[in-house]
Structure 1
Amino acid sequence: MGGIVGPRGDAYQLNRDITAAEAEDYHSVQLSTLRQAGVDFACAMTFNNIEEAVGVARAAAGAGVPLVMSLTVDGTSRLKSGPSLAEAVAAIDEQTDAAPVCYLLNCSHPVEFEPGLETGDWIRRMRGFRPNASKMEKIALCQLGHLEEGDPEELGRLMGGLAQRYPHMDIWGGCCGTGHVHLEEIARNVRQARESAQA
């Protein structure tokens, strides 16, 4: 059983005023509660700021809760606060003694995050993706007043391509706007990529 932890503020805006120490204090309450509830792990979803990510990772370690850190990027393929994915993962690991069990990406379409998947050892810490259904910018999506489904078949193909490029990744899902059709397309394409690699 897993628990979810979100950022203190709006995941699509900057939370520049929070320090790692403040984030550790803030998130420790929820993580301690999740620990008391008997969760096997927690997932910190849609984090875009290194300081807050460091704080929540330290809070999880202090509470004895294994933590999956899920980051999100904007249209620049970087965290809203500025760093690249590689820089963010390296910084969080360095400041927490690699406390997160692993990293994910969520709440971004592959057209946003794929250019940020630089080569390097850091990518081995990334275990999977939970993409948005739509390529639309996040604030625009929030203003629609309904879920935007995008193109499920294209999303499935893109995720299959990622599965082919990164055979170590084993966590696949969906975020905003995704439903069973998207997940079926993702599963089908990831399975085909895996079978093709084994052939």
Structure 2
Amino acid sequence: MAISSLPQLDRFFLTDAGLETDILFNKGIDLPLFSSVTLFTSDEGVDVLEAYYRGFLDLARAKGTGLILESATWRAGPDWAEPLGFTLAELDGLNGAAIELLRGLRAEYADVPVVVSGCIGPRGDGYDPGKIMSADEAQAYHAHQAGVLAAAGVDMLAAITMTNVPEAVGVTNAAKALGLPVAISFTVETDGRLPTGEGLGDAIAAVDAATGNYPAYYMVNCAHPTHFDAVLDDGAAWTARIGGVRANASCLSHAELDVMTELDIGDPADLAARHRSLIDRFPQIKVLGGCCGTDLRHVTAIAEACIK
């Protein structure tokens, strides 16, 4: 699918919520190393995922929007095979199964405009940038999973919880080499800056400069709106590149969330109102979903507040 033909560029598309936190905390199902792709190792796990996605498909149908089906492959890159107990070939197979599920659901919900997105997470942790690769190293690493997802038939790729610029550039270039559209979603701390300390605007400008403005759009995820709404500069060119938000339910910092043993679901109504304020300021934001701590309740509240 060409970048210019992505339907979420000019109309509202919902996406899902905090898949891993929903499955782990709300449904009580263990996810080794927080990897939802492990659910594809059993029929029961696939049933859980299918039911999860159906909730968002039904919501999109009810609200008359499209839906981006994001694959359960956030923590399914090559480095995770051995820690999860898989060979690389086995992990590749699970990546393919994740896309097969989404394509099947799209065929079933033919009346709902659906974009199948292959989700790529950071090589390391989504909160801590750890050892930062060069852009070339990042491209070489992420090209493997990107290629598997492309072969499985995705419409686009989405790099979720990017913590640093070189890795975001690497994923972008991997997508570019495959001719696939890509959305780059940065995570920010409570001060609105990347975990590396860079400003969000500086990070977006740097990725655009390094890749010829290749990302179809940027997103912010895994942070509460109170963490980043003040740094969004009305009228700035970089802000106009932000096309989606997948916020956390909680106002807590990443460090605080990392040690919690219970889920903080925040205030869905307040979260929805903050999204309404964001899209009033930035009408180019068309992709709305959730991240850690959110579930169908939060995305429903956001849809009801923002989509009239």
Name the TM-score, length of structure 2 as normaliser: 0.61
Q: Distance in 2 between matches of 1:17 and 1:68?
A: 20
Q: How far did residue 13 of structure 1 move?
A: 0.7
Q: Distance in 2 between matches of 1:68 and 1:128?
A: 9
In the alignment, which of 192, 216, 222 is matched to residue 101 of structure 1? 216
Check the 8 A contact 2:221/2:245 in 1, yes or no. yes
Q: Does 2:146 align with 1:31? A: yes
In the alignment, which of 254, 262, 284 is matched to residue 138 of structure 1? 254
**How do residues 151-190 of structure 1 correspond to structure 2 at under 5 angstroms?**
151-190=267-306
Q: Distance in 2 between matches of 1:59 and 1:15?
A: 21
Larger Rg: 2
Give the letter for the 1:138 counterpart: H
Partner of 2:242: 126
**Deviation >4 Å, runs of 4+:** none
SS at match of 2:219: strand
Check the 8 A contact 1:31/1:65 in 2, yes or no. no
Partner of 1:41: 156
Check the 8 A contact 1:41/1:67 in 2, yes or no. yes
Offset from partner CA, 1:115-149 (integer Å, 9 cap, x none): 22123111111101010000011121121123210
Partner of 1:22: 137
Offset from partner CA, 1:8-29 (integer Å, 9 cap, x none): 0011112343111100000000
Q: Structure 1 17/129 Cα, relative in aligned 2: closer, same or farther at 3 Å?
A: closer
Q: How far did residue 180 of structure 1 move?
A: 1.9
Check the 8 A contact 1:66/1:101 in 2, yes or no. yes
Q: How far did residue 191 of structure 1 move?
A: 2.3
Partner of 2:200: 85
Percent identity reads 39
Q: Distance in 2 between matches of 1:33 and 1:65?
A: 12
Q: How far did residue 88 of structure 1 move?
A: 0.6
Partner of 1:197: none
Larger RCO: Structure 1 or Structure 2 (Cα < 8 Å, ≥ 6 residues apart)? 2
Name the TM-score, length of structure 1 as normaliser: 0.93
Check the 8 A contact 1:152/1:182 in 2, yes or no. yes
Offset from partner CA, 1:86-138 (integer Å, 9 cap, x none): 11111000001111111011100001111221231111111010100000111
Q: Distance in 1 between matches of 2:271 and 2:284?
A: 20
Question: RMSD across aligned C-alpha pairs, in angstroms?
Answer: 1.1
Q: Distance in 1 between matches of 2:130 and 2:177?
A: 23
Q: Distance in 2 between matches of 1:163 and 1:131?
A: 13
Q: Which 5+ residue runs of structure 2 have no aligned equivalent? A: 1-115
Q: Distance in 2 between matches of 1:10 and 1:17?
A: 11
Check the 8 A contact 1:12/1:138 in 2, yes or no. yes
Give the letter for the 2:168 counterpart: A
Check the 8 A contact 2:132/2:164 in 1, yes or no. no
In the alignment, which of 125, 138, 147 is matched to residue 10 of structure 1? 125
